[in-house]
Structure 1
Amino acid sequence: MNVRQTDPKPTTGDGWTRRMGRAVLRPFRPVDEVARAIDLGVGLQRSTATGRRIVVDDLGTGSDATVVAALMARALAHFRHDRVLAVDATGREPSLATRLDVEEPGDLAKADGTAFETVCEGLGDVTDRLWTARTDPADPGAYAAGLLPVSRFFGVTIAVGETGGGFLETVAAGAHSRVRVVRATREAALRVGRELDVLTAQGREDEAARTVVVVFDQERGEDRGLDVERTARIIAGSGAEVIALPHDRHLAQGTAVLPRRIAESTHRLVQTVALAALDRAIDGGPNTGSGR
């Protein structure tokens, strides 16, 4: 789809020099890098006996969880052979529809779950395997009345919303995995650490094991005192997987995300996040045999 005419000219995640160097060196990529790309693609194609539901939120840190959800949805839809649904329960801009470059975002309340054809009438069409819809963030009843009847037609459903929102927390109670997208700050790291400690203290280690934490540097060096590697090791002690997502100039624009414009490292890391969430949604915890 085309970028809306009101959007500024999209910038690229990688600078010109890096893009040129990447193009020249692409035929000479190391064998292990090529193998890694193949493993990611194969992993994202894992079949599911029933539809898997993945919840994405910002843990109240103000991070752009929506753009991560949009990238995950695109990655899954690109590799998988079944359908993917992305639901926006944030109620803020830039919306999921904006990030996916969809003019008609769809409305979960208008999606008739009688048959797939009637479901599609209420959804926004992104690609031939990806659909999207919005819903009221505060309405917990939209889960049973809207999402459950609709999600049975999709192999993977991603719901992104505000932490504490009635809809999101209702979905989270029955979700197969959860992605917490937090800002790359010491305060946010402490917050997610406390959240996971509470789960462990309450004997809910299985929920921690089904969690993927994305430390997102969306403001470029927002907290230069944050030791990302050390923070990741500490948080990972809870059983959650931690993935650092560096700053990307294209994502920071806040407009439609064009896959060809984001940095190559962003592509790889978002696929890693999607695979980690999918593995946990299928296996109930880390898939130690996935080679990651």
Structure 2
Amino acid sequence: MNTEQVGQSVAPVSGDRWARRMGRAVLRPFRPVDEVARAIALGAGLQRSTATGRRIAVDDLGTGADAAVVAALIARALAHFRHDRVLAVDATGREPSLATRLGAAGPGDLAQADPGTFETVCEGLGEVTDRLWTARTDPVDANAYASGLLPVSRFFGVTLVVGERGGGFLETVAPGAHARVRVVRATRDAVLRVGRELDVMAAEGRAREAERTVVVVFDQERGEDRGLDVARTAKIIAESGAEVIALPHDRHLAQGTEVLPRRIAESTHRLVQTVALAALDRAIDGGPSTGSGR
């Protein structure tokens, strides 16, 4: 992320370069049948109904990865396909904020959301679309989970919380989360940290927690660690039961401004939907689903 651009008015660039966009447009009518079928299966999986609201916690495991932009992408993917509402809560205190990434009408404030009715809840939230809402909260306020998030989240089919490792709010939400997304930088140090975390889970008899985890290895700085073998790393981490998805560099996301769905690379679209489905499967099933179509 180019932090010098945050808060400035910059022309958005596309994740795919011009030649790739043109080629994609020309070939779109001739997409292979299996690719179309996969897209349909992904959409159907993201529309899975939930008996009660599901909570998904997102963090960077202390690696400095841009967890907020990944949370924004997941939230948009879920809200695009689902028939219920999605709430994205920012407990990071970082810039650019989740609201900025989502292009929300306002940042919202979880403490100002009156849980009496959905209409009164909306008065304290930032609206992105009629199915996607956002709010910020104090990263260190552990009490805001019971007093703010729980009463509000009942109005939403899926609630995403992006927070800081060690932050009181996230650490209170995480144990009761139905799934976790750990966004880490695409470096050997970062993936080693993930491995150690999963090893601790296994040693403490928390294998089910690992199975509810999706690890996103995010190349946000483009080739930050060229010595990292992502494919081999993914296989090793997956032995724990967690799913590992590599998210390559995207020029649009790297700008650090509002994420415009039409500007991100086609591969980013597909992979983010895969991350969203993996997290939703785990939030609903308590582990990997065999019927997701991935």
The TM-score, its normalising length taken from structure 1, stands at: 0.98
SS in 2 for 1:215: strand
Return the match for 1:200 from 199, 202, 205. 202
Where do 1:49-68 residues align within 5 Å?
Answer: 49-68=51-70
Match of 2:267 in 1: 265
Shift of residue 6 of structure 1? 4.1
Tell me, in whole angstroms, the C-alpha distance in 2 between the residues paired with 1:257 and 1:63. Answer: 16
Shift of residue 164 of structure 1? 1.0
Shift of residue 168 of structure 1? 0.5
Matched, 1:101 2:103: yes
Match of 1:253 in 2: 255
The residue type equivalent to 1:216 in the other structure is F
Cα shift readout 1:22-42 (whole Å, capped 9, x = no counterpart)? 000000111111111101100
SS in 1 for 2:252: helix
Match of 1:157 in 2: 159
Match of 1:9 in 2: 11
Q: Would you identify which runs of 4 or more consecutive aligned residues in structure 1 move more than 6 Å?
A: none
Matched, 1:43 2:45: yes
Matched, 1:243 2:245: yes
Tell me, in whole angstroms, the C-alpha distance in 2 between the residues paired with 1:207 and 1:256. Answer: 32
Tell me, in whole angstroms, the C-alpha distance in 2 between the residues paired with 1:90 and 1:212. Answer: 19
Shift of residue 291 of structure 1? 2.6
Return the match for 2:126 from 124, 127, 130. 124
SS in 2 for 1:212: strand
Tell me, in whole angstroms, the C-alpha distance in 2 between the residues paired with 1:60 and 1:44. Answer: 28
Match of 1:175 in 2: 177
Tell me, in whole angstroms, the C-alpha distance in 2 between the residues paired with 1:5 and 1:165. Answer: 25
Match of 2:3 in 1: none
Tell me, in whole angstroms, the C-alpha distance in 2 between the residues paired with 1:59 and 1:38. Answer: 32
Matched, 1:83 2:88: no
Structure 1 unmatched runs, 5+: none
The TM-score, its normalising length taken from structure 2, stands at: 0.97
Structure 2 unmatched runs, 5+: 1-5
Match of 2:24 in 1: 22
Task: Work out the number of aligned pairs and report it.
Answer: 289
Tell me, in whole angstroms, the C-alpha distance in 2 between the residues paired with 1:183 and 1:128. Answer: 32
Tell me, in whole angstroms, the C-alpha distance in 2 between the residues paired with 1:156 and 1:84. Answer: 5
Shift of residue 10 of structure 1? 0.2
Partners of 2:105 and 2:128 within 8 A in 1? no
What is the percentage of aligned positions where both structures have the same residue? 84
Tell me, in whole angstroms, the C-alpha distance in 2 between the residues paired with 1:291 and 1:46. Answer: 12
Cα shift readout 1:136-181 (whole Å, capped 9, x = no counterpart)? 0000000000000000000000000101110001000100000000
SS in 2 for 1:169: helix
Pairwise CA RMSD? 1.0
Return the match for 1:134 from 133, 136, 139. 136
Shift of residue 289 of structure 1? 2.1
SS in 1 for 2:45: helix
